[in-house]
Amino acid sequence: MMIDPIELTRELIRFNTINPPGNETPCAEHIGGILERAGFSIAYHPMEDGRANLIARIGGVAGKKPLCMSGHTDVVPLGAAPWSVAPFAADIADGKIFGRGSTDMKGGVAAIVAAAVELAPRLEGTPGLVLVITAGEERGCQGANFLVQQPGVLGEAGALLVAEPTSNRPLNGHKGVLWIEGRATGVTAHGSTPEHGVNAVYKAARVIGRLEGLKLEDGRVLKGGLPTLNVGWFHGGMNINSIPDEAKFGLDIRMVPGLTDTEVLAQLAEIGGKDVAFTRQGYSEPVFTEPSDPWIASVHEVMAEITGERHAPGIATYFTDAAALTKAYGNPPTIILGPGEAEMAHQTDEFCYIRRIEEATAGFTEIAKRWCGV
Ligand SMILES: [Zn+2]
């Protein structure tokens, strides 16, 4: 049985899986049906009505764990700007497939499925494959986190490949995320008598001014590149004619290995001084495998052969389901590698290059072959 990954990408795009609400089940069942016919054992794990995660397995031996390949079926909303193509028609032009989810990441899922189906007849008595196809990735890795919480459902994996968009460049991990809220307080008074109040917006603004350009790494060279900080939102005051007694803002910090959340909070506390108190709202560790890991090196070799492009090691700036899955599998080597274009993710008129999907399919097939020794 052979699956054309281009046709499959188009079929998957035609399922409207905009999250919210997601409605991933029909898309997951389409994938599950293909894998079942190819000999995989499949299980659906709905986290809500109409929102199934899919786990498919084949092969398995004592002594070496299977290779896990993972992708998500949900897509982000279309955005406010009008599209010049039909977002769910999966039209082809100029060597590209257009549509919401083409890049992020139905092209990647189709490449995983096509590679897995091609190898399926040869995987009995080998370490085998486990495919984890999640729902709800775009809103905080909801599906992957759900699977992690179901005892025994994920099973084991000796390596993890997440096919998020990287233009087929293998990335040995992704940045972590630390979300923090800053809050300044003041004393309210009538807007005509500012001398009777303490303006919380001024306090917050002074601190934010010091955050712009802050070097969190403090001159150190860290693995995985530089951490970043962004002030994502700011709210202050009640109305035009009062002195604001509260101002709050949100910080989105992207973390790299070697920098700890405790260190960042300590730096912020110093900058905030008496004016702003910082509290941690959420944290997810970076995912990182040493580039010298033999499996990581082998993936680079496979992809260089196929794409003709040799890349230095690097990690993705965005986070992925690996944030949940890598830890749950006991930190096996993890690669983020997929056919989509990272800069097209979540964009109007999203597309994926057909050539990239073909390369990814060939790459995933070779990576799985090497893992399974077939
Ligand atoms: Zn994605």
* Spacing, Cα 192 to ligand 1 middle (Å): 50
- Single out the residue of 101, 141, 123 nearest to residue 357, CA to CA: 101
The answer to whether residue 164 is catalytic is no
Predicted confidence (pLDDT) at residue 221 exceeds the cutoff of 90: no
Question: How far is Cα 329 from Cα 322, in angstroms, rounded to an integer?
Answer: 10
Question: Where does 193-252 have alpha helices with state H?
Answer: 200-211
Of 104, 138, 275, 341, the active-site residue reads 138
Mean pLDDT of the chain: 97
pLDDT (tens digit per residue) in 150-202: 999 999 999 999 999 999 999 999 999 999 999 999 999 999 999 999 999 99
Quick one: DSSP state of residue 343? G
Question: How far is Cα 242 from Cα 132, in angstroms, rounded to an integer?
Answer: 54
- How does residue 1 score in pLDDT terms, banded at 50, 70 and 90? confident
Question: How far is Cα 250 from Cα 255, in angstroms, rounded to an integer?
Answer: 16
Q: What burial class does residue 318 get, using C-beta atoms within 10 Å of its C-beta: 0-12 exposed, 13-18 middle, 19+ buried?
A: middle
Question: How far is Cα 343 from Cα 320, in angstroms, rounded to an integer?
Answer: 15
The confidence score (pLDDT) of residue 9 equals 98
Percent of the chain at pLDDT > 70 equals 100
The confidence score (pLDDT) of residue 333 equals 98
Radius of gyration of the chain (CA): 23
The confidence score (pLDDT) of residue 66 equals 98
pLDDT (tens digit per residue) in 19-64: 999 999 999 999 999 999 999 999 999 999 999 999 999 999 999 9
Fold of 5-174+286-372: Aminopeptidase (3.40.630)
Residues in the chain: 374
* Spacing, Cα 218 to ligand 1 middle (Å): 31
Of 11, 74, 104, 366, the active-site residue reads 74
Q: Report CA 31 to chain centroid distance, whole Å.
A: 20
* Spacing, Cα 141 to ligand 1 middle (Å): 10
* Spacing, Cα 164 to ligand 1 middle (Å): 5
Predicted confidence (pLDDT) at residue 13 exceeds the cutoff of 90: yes
* Alpha-carbon dihedral angle through residues 186, 188, 190, 195, given to the nearest 10 degrees: -40
Strand stretches in 156-290, DSSP E: 159-162, 173-174, 176-185, 228-236, 246-255, 277-284, 287-288
Q: What burial class does residue 61 get, using C-beta atoms within 10 Å of its C-beta: 0-12 exposed, 13-18 middle, 19+ buried?
A: middle
- How does residue 294 score in pLDDT terms, banded at 50, 70 and 90? very high
Question: How far is Cα 115 from Cα 109, in angstroms, rounded to an integer?
Answer: 10
Residues 325/70, Cβ–Cβ less than 8 Å: yes
In the chain, residues under CATH classification 3.40.630.10 are 5-174+286-372
Q: What's the mean pLDDT in 135-149?
A: 96
Question: How far is Cα 3 from Cα 114, in angstroms, rounded to an integer?
Answer: 5
Q: What's the mean pLDDT in 127-151?
A: 97
SS3 call for 3: coil
Question: How far is Cα 10 from Cα 237, in angstroms, rounded to an integer?
Answer: 49
* Tokens linked to 182: 């800053």
The answer to whether residue 138 is catalytic is yes
* CATH numeric code, 176-284: 3.30.70.360
Q: Report CA 120 to chain centroid distance, whole Å.
A: 27
* Spacing, Cα 104 to ligand 1 middle (Å): 5
Predicted confidence (pLDDT) at residue 70 exceeds the cutoff of 90: yes
Phi, psi at 6, each rounded to 5°: -70, -45
Predicted confidence (pLDDT) at residue 290 exceeds the cutoff of 90: yes
In which residue are the tokens 């993710």 written? 345
pLDDT (tens digit per residue) in 337-374: 999 999 999 999 999 999 999 999 999 999 999 999 99
* Spacing, Cα 37 to ligand 1 middle (Å): 27
What pairs with residue 283 in β-bridges?
178
* Spacing, Cα 100 to ligand 1 middle (Å): 11
In the chain, residues under CATH classification 3.30.70.360 are 176-284
Q: What's the mean pLDDT in 145-151?
A: 97
Q: What's the mean pLDDT in 234-239?
A: 97
